[in-house]
Amino acid sequence: MWAAIKMVLAFAGLGIPAGLVMIPWTFLTGDIKPMYRVGKWICSVGFRAAGIRVEQVGRENIPDRPCIFVPNHVSNLDPPLMVPLIPGEPSIMLKAELLKIPVIGKAWRMAKYVPIDREGGRDSGVRSIRYAAEVIRGGLSMLIFAEGTRSRTGRLQAFKAGPFHLSQSTGAPIVPVAISGTESMMHKGSAKVYPGVARVEFLPAVDPAMYKNRAEFIAAVRGAIEQALPEAMRPLETSAE
């Protein structure tokens, strides 16, 4: 439990003062980059405080253009783990209610994070995808967890079609990402954090133009992640939504 306390203290102790300074600064200057640099640094400090070492490989596979990063999702640690590792100022698809958090929610809006209202139905989903397309066309990469929710078992789940529709509509390649280690550091439904090594592998980018239909596209990305994960994290079945 001490690891979780140290992480929260680092995030809150650094994040709140930083937000109180950087949000007005960003509003006045219109430049999001300084706030992003500070935010990435705070994420890194929080992980070190919790005794979590981050090991990343495959950065040479990241194209020098806006991309959609699609990792597997096994822990609440995954988003703050990924953001400092993605070049530039990536946008993220996240639950709409998170944007209501004081200070940090305002910062996320300014960073053009894309809200997803799971109770809003199809129309809400369409609005989110349209906004995400605007964000990508504006020059930002995106981080999207295609499983839609964290895996309870650590095994790779079926993928939702949203990120792939977004890729096909904008032409942005998808960079598959295999995350392992965080599944044992913070379990779904638990606030406990355990020290350890989190491994992030960026896999070769997948061009949407190479596939005739969305099902083949999804299968290619999911298959790449599956092969890069440890055996215990691979799905017991191979179907995709």
> Which domains does the chain show, CATH number per domain?
53-233 (3.40.1130.10)
- Angle among Cα 163, 96, 182 to the nearest 5 degrees reads 65
Which pLDDT score, from 0 to 100, does residue 100 have?
82
CB 177 within 8 A of CB 200: yes
Which pLDDT score, from 0 to 100, does residue 237 have?
67
* DSSP-derived 3-state class of residue 178: strand
Which pLDDT score, from 0 to 100, does residue 139 have?
94
Which pLDDT score, from 0 to 100, does residue 232 have?
94
Distance CA 7, CA 106 (A): 22
Which pLDDT score, from 0 to 100, does residue 239 have?
45
Q: Within a 13 Å sphere around the CA of 148, how many CA atoms are in the beta-carbon half?
A: 12
Single out the residue of 103, 53, 113 nearest to residue 79, CA to CA. 113
Q: Digits of tens for pLDDT over the chain (241 positions)?
A: 788 899 989 998 998 898 889 888 988 898 889 999 999 999 999 999 999 999 999 999 999 999 999 999 999 999 999 999 999 999 998 888 888 887 778 888 888 999 887 776 777 778 888 999 999 999 999 999 999 889 988 999 999 998 999 999 999 999 999 999 999 998 777 788 999 999 999 999 999 999 989 999 999 999 999 999 999 999 986 544 4
- Angle among Cα 17, 21, 22 to the nearest 5 degrees reads 110
Distance CA 177, CA 224 (A): 9
Neighbours of 238 (CB within 10 A): 12
